[in-house]
Amino acid sequence: MLNFSYGGFNTGNALQLPTGGPCICIGRYNYCHRQPRADKLFSVDVSAIAFDCQAGAIMQSSSKVLSALMGVCVGDALGVPVEFSRRAERIKLPILGITGYGTYNQPPGTWSDDSSLTFCLAESLCAGFSPEEIAESFCRWFRQAYWTPHGRVFDIGNATRAALYRLERGVPPLEAGGTSEQSNGNGSLMRILPVAFYHKTLDLSSLIQRTHQVSRITHAHPRSQMACGIYISIAACLLRGLAPKQAYLEGGQNVREIYSQPPYASELANFQRIFSGKLDELPVSEIQSDGYVVSTLEASLWCLLNSSSYAKAVLKAVNLGGDTDTTGAVTGGLAGIFYGFDSIPQEWVAQIARIDDIIELSGRLEAALYSS
Q: What is the pLDDT of residue 57?
A: 40
Provide the H-helix boundaries in 110-172. Answer: 113-125, 131-144, 158-168
Q: What is the pLDDT of residue 211?
A: 98
Residue 219 bridge partners (DSSP): 178
Q: What is the pLDDT of residue 370?
A: 83
Mean pLDDT of the chain: 87
Q: What is the pLDDT of residue 250?
A: 98
**241-263 burial code (b ≥16 CB/10 A, e <16):** ebebeebbbebbebbeebbeeee
Pairing state of beta strands 29-32 and 23-26? antiparallel
Check residue 56 and give left, alpha or beta (phi > 0: left; psi -120 to 50: alpha).
left
Q: What is the pLDDT of residue 22?
A: 40
Q: What is the pLDDT of residue 371?
A: 73
Q: Is 357 buried (19+), middle (13-18) or exposed (0-12) by CB count in 10 A? A: middle
Pairing state of beta strands 23-26 and 9-10? unpaired
Which regions of the chain are under pLDDT 50?
A: 1-58
Residue 24 phi/psi, 5-degree rounding, is -125, 125
